[in-house]
Structure 1
Amino acid sequence: MLSALRPEIKNLDDKIGLAVERFLKSELAYRGVAVSGGNYESGGEHGECDLVIETPETVIFAEVKKKPLTRKAKAGSDTALMLDLAGSLLAAQAQAGWHEVRFRRDGHLNLDDKGTTTFIELSNRGIERVAISLLDYGGFQDRIILKQFLESTIGAKFMVDDERLKNKFEKINDALTDIHTQLVQLHPGESKINQPFIHCWFISVPQFLILLDDVTDSLSFKNALWSSRHITTGSSDFYFDLSYMRRLKNK
């Protein structure tokens, strides 16, 4: 559908991205979750947060990317899969990673959303980084697979023979370089980092909406997200894991 509509609607992709952000903000607000976002300046660097959710113990940075898992990737094309993951997971985690670096460095961020200013302070809270895709990526959104993928690509560089794809793969390498640089800045002087990406997530808009089923405020949203943070069933299925943990809680 998107491919057919792009020639007809100018800047379609940007409009979709903004519409998804507004939709998620409205869904969160409807359930009593305080959410902010906007542009900020930090040490001469510019950043833009899509969604920021605060609880007394945690600040959650969520970045929305509409890049879908394409048919070529589903059919087993390694090149297509890497491009899809780069346009969703890696781009969002690199963006959220810079938010974390600057937030920890300054101790605060001053977000400007079209004239509405929100001042957020770190105050010794933890930080979670959530990449949100428009549609499902299947098993790639499993936390164990996500952890292994991010850890295995630290310091990696991807090459491609097709000249038409070299610029796209340079963007992949740029995102990986950003994530590696962020890791060094967040853990200065540490030769071995235990679970460096334990606070990173990759979920889809449909999965995000399922999380909101019983949410009534910011803390209950955090608790819903945490329900599958430290367990795995081996299913590589977010919906199954969430349902399983809800059944255990009800029992």
Structure 2
Amino acid sequence: MRMAIKTQDYAYEQILFGRKYASGLGHRSPGLPVGLLYNIAVKLPAQGSNERKAESFWDKAVCLARDFVAMLDIEPYSQFAFLNVDARSLEDVLRWVAHYDHCFSLRQWHLSFTPQFLTGFFSDEFDTNMKHQLGWCVADAVQLADVLKTHAKPGTLVVPIQLLENRLDQGVFKSMLPFFAHREGETNKKYRSPFGAEGPDVIFKPLILLNDNNVVLPAASVLGPALFEAIFAAWAKGKAANEIANLRGLAAERLTKNLFATHGFQPSFENAKYDMGDIGVGECDFVFEDEENIILVECKAKALTRGAMTGIQGEALLDFAGGLFASQAQALRHERILRSSGAIHFLDETTLEFRDRRITRLTVTLVDHGALQDRTMLMNIYNALLLAEVRCDSGYKKKKQIDELNKNLRLFQQETRLLEAAGQHINAHPHNAASASIAQLDILLENVQSLTEVSSGLTPSLTHVTFNVLREHFLYQQMLNHKQPS
């Protein structure tokens, strides 16, 4: 973590990982694979290590990891690396960018947002059953998050377990510990390489027990996602798949609405269905509007799979398809109807009029999908998507997801042709697409006063091709703050 903070920008309570390139077409050395090193480091037991030689061992490990990942050739050295992607190379490219994220970055969000996320995701109706079954509930986990926030730092710490225990009911804390702390030597036990789909399990619990008296407290930025995963895993045990999916979907929408409301924006339309016959059928999750803007918001609760993180063929494509792409295909239909018919007439007899306003299509994901949800990635593969069709063997275990992907590809391609027929140039379509996780959106909406500012912040005209929503926002804000008056 010290290496990461030293080599990357730090803002919004997290490390802003992102692609970095050589100046022009020049040379630069391979980057340090912080994600891979982190997943290896948490495996190592503290006892029995040769502390006198620890620094030299670590230096050697860093060099070996850097050289190994450089040999895999998943790191882009030019911002032009993904230009003109064709349909045949689409799956390869998505797999590379997801695997890069696993090797070079970490799942993060700002720890101060965690209590709001947890209480918004889990309603208090679960507390009684969780307290009875587990000995703790979501309210206790929120209290733990507040305690961790008091002690957590940008880097990793070892703290006496008593510091945490003293701030919580001791009986409750004792019942929580197995759910929220890995035992020493058990963390990432099955993690063998960056190709290992069995891991990494470090992301599913926030703490590591060092001995009976101490815990390893990871960096503040990784604690929030791990707290959420620990609570969700405890709640979901024994639940049916449809019950789990239903909670995730409803929670994603509830969190999105609450987040916009916190920043002063209320939707004009919510879960609004329409059936306009041959013109189109659909549903808008949320629509925010003013005299100049229409923001079409589609919420997606799909998680990024470990298969996508570790480079398993097809997984990144399916995660992209079920997250950013599915929602953008749906929103494209809404936009096409507005532009071609002038309005969407909903079943409840309300109407959304176009009136030549600026349209932004925003995908909000429950958690960060890395480069797979970045709008620059969508721009680079846009033409490939217009020609793509995916095939698989009849026995492929995720054939149903492939069929759904092809359905959305046909929708996307059809709506693009219809938008062109309505007079919109094809090159304009990807430029009003935007995407962010809920935690990222909380940062993007900070201090904005109007929907015009929301739209401009979500779809800046400039990109540094870092494939990180928050790093792009950080660099864009830096440019605005240093802009000289004319």
TM-score normalized with structure 2 length: 0.47
Change (3 A) 1:189 1:23: closer
**1:25-59 CA deviation, whole Å, 9 max, x = no partner?**
12212322231322232423432111211132221
Aligned to 1:165: 398
Aligned to 1:127: 359
Provide the secondary structure at the position in 2 that maps to 1:68: coil
CA distance in 2, matches of 1:219, 1:238: 18
Cα deviation for residue 6 of structure 1 reads 6.2
TM-score normalized with structure 1 length: 0.87
**1:102-129 CA deviation, whole Å, 9 max, x = no partner?**
22233222446xx7x7532100113221
Aligned to 2:68: none
Change (3 A) 1:200 1:224: closer
Cα deviation for residue 173 of structure 1 reads 0.8
Q: Output the amino acid matched with 1:235.
A: T
Please say if residues 379 and 431 of structure 2, whose CA atoms lie closer than 8 Å, have aligned partners that are also in contact.
Answer: yes
Provide the secondary structure at the position in 2 that maps to 1:61: strand
Aligned to 2:289: 54
Q: Output the amino acid matched with 2:353.
A: E
Aligned to 1:248: 479
Q: Does 1:105 find its partner at 2:349?
A: no
CA distance in 1, matches of 2:315, 2:394: 12
- Of the two structures, which has the highest relative contact order with CA contacts closer than 8 Å and spacing of 6 or more? 1
- Equivalent position to 1:81, from 307, 312, 316: 316
Q: Does 1:65 find its partner at 2:300?
A: yes
Unmatched runs of 5 consecutive residues or more in structure 1: none
Q: Output the amino acid matched with 1:239.
A: L
> Which stretch of the first structure deviates more once superposed, 3-12 or 193-202?
3-12
Aligned to 1:91: 326
CA distance in 1, matches of 2:422, 2:285: 31
- Equivalent position to 1:150, from 364, 371, 382: 382
Aligned to 1:17: 249
Provide the secondary structure at the position in 2 that maps to 1:77: coil
Change (3 A) 1:79 1:6: farther
Aligned to 1:212: 445
CA distance in 1, matches of 2:465, 2:319: 24
Unmatched runs of 5 consecutive residues or more in structure 2: 1-228
Please say if residues 256 and 364 of structure 2, whose CA atoms lie closer than 8 Å, have aligned partners that are also in contact.
Answer: no
Provide the secondary structure at the position in 2 that maps to 1:155: coil
- Equivalent position to 2:276, from 43, 46, 52: 43
CA distance in 2, matches of 1:111, 1:189: 21
Change (3 A) 1:148 1:40: same
Aligned to 1:184: 417
**1:189-234 CA deviation, whole Å, 9 max, x = no partner?**
88x73343221223221221111111234333234324xx211113
Please say if residues 275 and 346 of structure 2, whose CA atoms lie closer than 8 Å, have aligned partners that are also in contact.
Answer: no
Q: Who wins on radius of gyration, i.e. which is larger?
A: 2
Please say if residues 367 and 437 of structure 2, whose CA atoms lie closer than 8 Å, have aligned partners that are also in contact.
Answer: yes
CA distance in 2, matches of 1:202, 1:70: 18
CA distance in 2, matches of 1:217, 1:7: 44
- Runs of 4+ in structure 1 displaced over 6 angstroms? none
Q: Output the amino acid matched with 1:53.
A: F
Cα deviation for residue 139 of structure 1 reads 1.9
CA distance in 1, matches of 2:256, 2:399: 34
Please say if residues 296 and 360 of structure 2, whose CA atoms lie closer than 8 Å, have aligned partners that are also in contact.
Answer: yes
User: Structure 1 vs Structure 2: percent identity of aligned residues?
Assistant: 28
RMSD over aligned Cα, in angstroms? 2.5
Aligned to 1:197: 430
Please say if residues 40 and 109 of structure 1, whose CA atoms lie closer than 8 Å, have aligned partners that are also in contact.
Answer: no
Please say if residues 285 and 297 of structure 2, whose CA atoms lie closer than 8 Å, have aligned partners that are also in contact.
Answer: yes
CA distance in 2, matches of 1:189, 1:215: 33
Cα deviation for residue 149 of structure 1 reads 2.0
Q: Output the amino acid matched with 2:322.
A: G
CA distance in 1, matches of 2:404, 2:462: 33
- Give the number of equivalent residue pairs: 246
Aligned to 1:139: 371
Q: Looking at secondary structure, tell me which structure has more strand per residue.
A: 1
Cα deviation for residue 20 of structure 1 reads 2.0
Change (3 A) 1:3 1:111: farther
